[in-house]
Amino acid sequence: MSAAVVTGGGRGLGRAYALTLAAAGHAVVVNDLGDSPAAEVVAEIAAAGGTAVASTHDVTDFAAAAALIALAADTFGGLDVVVANAGILRDRTLAAMSEAEWDDVIAVHLKGTFAVAHHAAAHWRARAKAGEAVDGRLITTTSASGLYGNIGQSNYAAAKAGIAGFTLVAAQELRAYGVTVNCVAPSALTRLTEAPLRRYEGEITDARRHELDPGWVARVVAWLCGPDARDVTGRVFDIRGPQVGIASGWHLEPTFTQPEDADQLGRALRAAVAAAPPAADMEGQRR
Ligand SMILES: NC(=O)c1ccc[n+]([C@@H]2O[C@H](COP(=O)([O-])OP(=O)(O)OC[C@H]3O[C@@H](n4cnc5c(N)ncnc54)[C@H](O)[C@@H]3O)[C@@H](O)[C@H]2O)c1
């Protein structure tokens, strides 16, 4: 049986991933802070006939992340899937942001992703070096804020853009061990997004609730973790309910050779800026 770890699996998107992966036949380590959220999801999985165990490890703690990966390997005899999903928000404009608001967000998202991915990668590398055929999956989590920018989220965008870049490198490195690495940029109604959504959109209708059900994202994650996606790696999937897009990265266009003269350089730089595609808006579109 395939073994999966879902960080932040006690609520929101992580809960949906854990339930969907368990229903697809994976044994799941449901990780979340505090005693009840992970245990409640484990009970839900067990009630539906699935296999799961709870973990309360803090992903920002490097040693705890090692223990989380070891728990999966020890309990289920291996590790096949890691979904690095745990997250927090501490929104504030740059001029007003405190050091703690910056550090906390970077710790949970960026270090938390590294810590769990590092220990999983070491596990997969050891198995591959021992001659085992590994068929692993690492799913990381970015956001529209990190890909396209969003006011009030410089800490979160820095972490999430970092995770998108991290995904490209991890995909290149872990390919040799039989592991794919892909990133999701979800949109879903969760504890994290309910208050901001109410502020921007007002009362949330039933149709909008359906559109923002975490289950839409979980279906894509489950596919990425399955056998059909064995050759898909290094991609970023932007999932907004039923709408799915592939977010492509930085491209170098246009390029030019610097002229000697400083005035000419200024004109050439202006021309290049005018000819370059505009940055995407929050919908990921060039407008
Ligand atoms: N909901 C969205 O629309 C949306 C959009 C873009 C990105 N995301 C990302 O998706 C992920 C899940 O978010 P969500 O909306 O389900 O939020 P959520 O708050 O419902 O769930 C996140 C879970 O992570 C857990 N967590 C926080 N710090 C942790 C730590 N140090 N160790 C272990 N667990 C920890 C929390 O306790 C919580 O249960 C996050 O990475 C978030 O940034 C969500």
pLDDT > 90? residue 1: no
Following DSSP, what letter does each residue of 120-166 receive, concatenated? HHHHHHHHHHTT----EEEEEE--HHHHH--TTBHHHHHHHHHHHHH
Collapsed DSSP state (helix, strand, coil) of residue 3: strand
Spatial separation of the C-alpha atoms in residues 21 and 29, rounded to whole Å = 11
Sheet holding 179-187, edge to edge: 52-55, 27-31, 3-6, 81-83, 136-141, 179-187, 236-240, 243-246
The residues spanned by each domain of the chain are 3-246, 252-287
* pLDDT tens track for 86-117: 999 999 999 999 999 999 999 999 999 999 99
Ligand 1 close to Cβ of residue 85 (< 6 A): yes
Atom of ligand 1 nearest to the CA of 156: 43
Q: Please determine, looking at this structure, whether the domain spanning 3-246 carries the CATH number 2.60.40.3140.
A: no
- Position 200 scores a pLDDT of 83
Could you tell me which of 28, 23, 21 has the C-alpha nearest to residue 3? 28
Higher pLDDT, 35 or 177: 177
**Measured distance CA(255)–CA(161) in Å, rounded:** 24
Give percent of the chain above pLDDT 90: 91
| 20-28 mean pLDDT | 98
Place of tokens 């992340």: 65
Higher pLDDT, 162 or 195: 162
Say whether pLDDT at 286 is over 90.
no
Which atom of ligand 1 sits closest to the CA of residue 86?
24
Whether 60 lines ligand 1, by a CB cut-off of 6 Å, is: yes
Q: Tell me how far apart the alpha carbons of residues 213 and 215 are, in angstroms, rounded to a whole number.
A: 5
Region at 11 (left for phi over 0; alpha for psi -120 to 50; beta for the rest): beta
How distant is the alpha carbon of residue 39 from its chain centre? Answer: 22
Token pair 């999983």 in the structure block, residue: 120
Confidence of residue 64 (pLDDT cuts 50, 70, 90): very high
- Contact in structure between 185 and 163 (CB atoms under 8 Å): no
Q: Is the CB of 193 under 6 A from ligand 1?
A: yes
For residue 111, the model assigns a pLDDT of 98
CA dihedral 56→68→108→175, nearest 10 degrees, is -150
Amino acid 29: pLDDT: 98
Give per-residue pLDDT as tens, 244-258. 999 998 999 999 999
Q: Is 247 in the pocket of ligand 1 (CB under 6 A)?
A: no
Smallest CA separation from ligand 1 atom 39, residue: 11
- Residues 190-247: tens digit of each pLDDT: 999 988 888 888 889 999 999 999 999 999 999 999 999 999 999 999 999 999 999 9
CA of 249 to the centre of ligand 1 (A): 24
Q: What is the per-residue pLDDT for 199? A: 85
Q: What is the pTM of this model?
A: 0.97
